[in-house]
């Protein structure tokens, strides 16, 4: 029944579908499972930072040890079934889900969520680049370019408080566009290997993401969702808008 109801509101309201579906339910754990059923997915794609786990962690903190185990294990199972039903399940996703659950456990054991989320930021950027399984990249290359970015600490701070709605279909294609302007539509399955010769494009992409944060968010240390659906290449009709936007960088 949870799997039937969890995406019901995607028919009309994609961004709020989880919250609205949860309102159908009375049992607190069932409500939380539906409310947070997509959180592991958007962390895997790099669209959200671990700070967006805070409401889930607050709920889990009210449960007994065995209730916590049931809740988190069931959330993992729902996520796997949901992703597999769409044909997107792979080893990388499973590893991300397990890693996130381990980090949730650290926070529930007393570690600061802000500290855990901050430590995860380089991995988040790497996940964002790999989100559509079309890039091969050595994580050390990303770390190297982030370390060379002159505003890195401020950039990391800005990233922490922002979720990119549709970011996997805007920011990954933006880097594809910078590397090869013909390979950014989601219909392109060409595998691109990012190497040392692409440092200029990676640097430009990091700058572009930071400019996006500065321009389109309030800049305050509170959680914000940046809606990028108007330029998401998941919908081919948006390609002209995306390309015009991407050329601005």
163 contacts 223 by C-beta, under 8 angstroms: yes
* pLDDT at site 29: 92
Phi/psi-derived region of residue 195, left when phi > 0, alpha when psi is between -120 and 50, beta in every other case: beta
- Write down the pLDDT at residue 110: 96
Query: Which residues in 80-208 belong to E strands, given as ranges?
Result: 135-137, 162-165, 192-194
- For the chain, the straight-line distance linking the first and the last C-alpha, in angstroms and rounded, comes to 46
- Residues of the chain where predicted confidence (pLDDT) is lower than 70: 13-15
Would you state the structure tokens that stand for residue 176, as one six-digit string? 């594809």
Q: What is the DSSP string of 96-111?
A: HHHHHHHHHHHHHTT-
Q: Tell me, what's the pLDDT at 237? A: 96
Report DSSP state, residue 27: S
Angstrom CA distances, 104 to 49, 60, 149, stand at 13, 9, 29
Q: Residue 160, CB half-sphere, CA atoms under 13 Å: how many?
A: 19
Between helix 28-35 and helix 65-85 the angle, nearest 10°, is 40
Within its chain, how far is the Cα of 237 from the centroid? 23
- Per-residue tokens: 183: 């390979």
Domain boundaries, the chain: 1-111, 132-249
What is the SS3 assignment for 37? Answer: coil
Strand blocks (E) in the chain? 135-137, 162-165, 192-194, 224-227
Give residue 13's pLDDT.
Answer: 67
Integer CA distances (angstroms), 77 to 38, 46, 98, 171, 224, in order:
12, 20, 11, 28, 28
Between CA 14 and CA 2, with CA 91 as vertex, the angle to 5 degrees is: 40
Do 166 and 232 meet the contact criterion of CB atoms below 8 Å apart?
A: yes
Return d(Cα 80, Cα 86) in angstroms, integer: 10
> For residue 231, what is the enclosing H or E element?
none
Burial bucket for residue 237 (CB in 10 Å: 0-12, 13-18, 19+)? exposed
Residue 239 near residue 233, CB atoms below 8 Å: yes
């Amino acid at each position: 029944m949870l799997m039937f109801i969890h995406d019901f509101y995607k028919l009309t309201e994609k961004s709020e579908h989880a919250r609205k579906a949860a309102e159908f339910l009375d049992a607190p754990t069932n409500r939380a499972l539906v409310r947070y059923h997509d959180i592991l997915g958007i962390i895997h794609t790099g669209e959200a930072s671990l700070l967006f786990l805070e409401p889930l962690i607050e709920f889990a903190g009210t449960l007994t040890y065995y209730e916590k185990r049931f809740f988190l294990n069931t959330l993992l199972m729902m996520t796997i079934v949901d992703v597999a039903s769409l044909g997107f399940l792979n080893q990388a996703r499973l590893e991300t889900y397990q890693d996130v659950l381990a980090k949730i456990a650290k926070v529930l054991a007393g570690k600061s969520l802000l500290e855990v989320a901050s430590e995860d930021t380089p991995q988040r950027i790497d996940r964002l680049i790999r989100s559509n399984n079309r890039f091969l990249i050595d994580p050390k290359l990303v770390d190297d370019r982030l370390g060379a970015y002159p505003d890195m600490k401020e950039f990391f701070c800005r990233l922490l408080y922002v979720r990119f709605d549709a970011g996997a279909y805007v920011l990954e294609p933006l880097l594809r566009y910078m590397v090869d302007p013909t390979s950014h539509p989601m219909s392109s399955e060409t595998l691109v290997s990012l190497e040392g010769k692409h440092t200029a494009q990676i640097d430009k992409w990091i700058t572009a993401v930071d400019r996006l944060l500065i321009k389109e968010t309030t800049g305050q240390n509170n959680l914000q969702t940046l809606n990028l659906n108007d330029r998401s290449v998941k919908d081919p009709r948006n390609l002209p808008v995306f390309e015009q936007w991407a050329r601005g960088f």
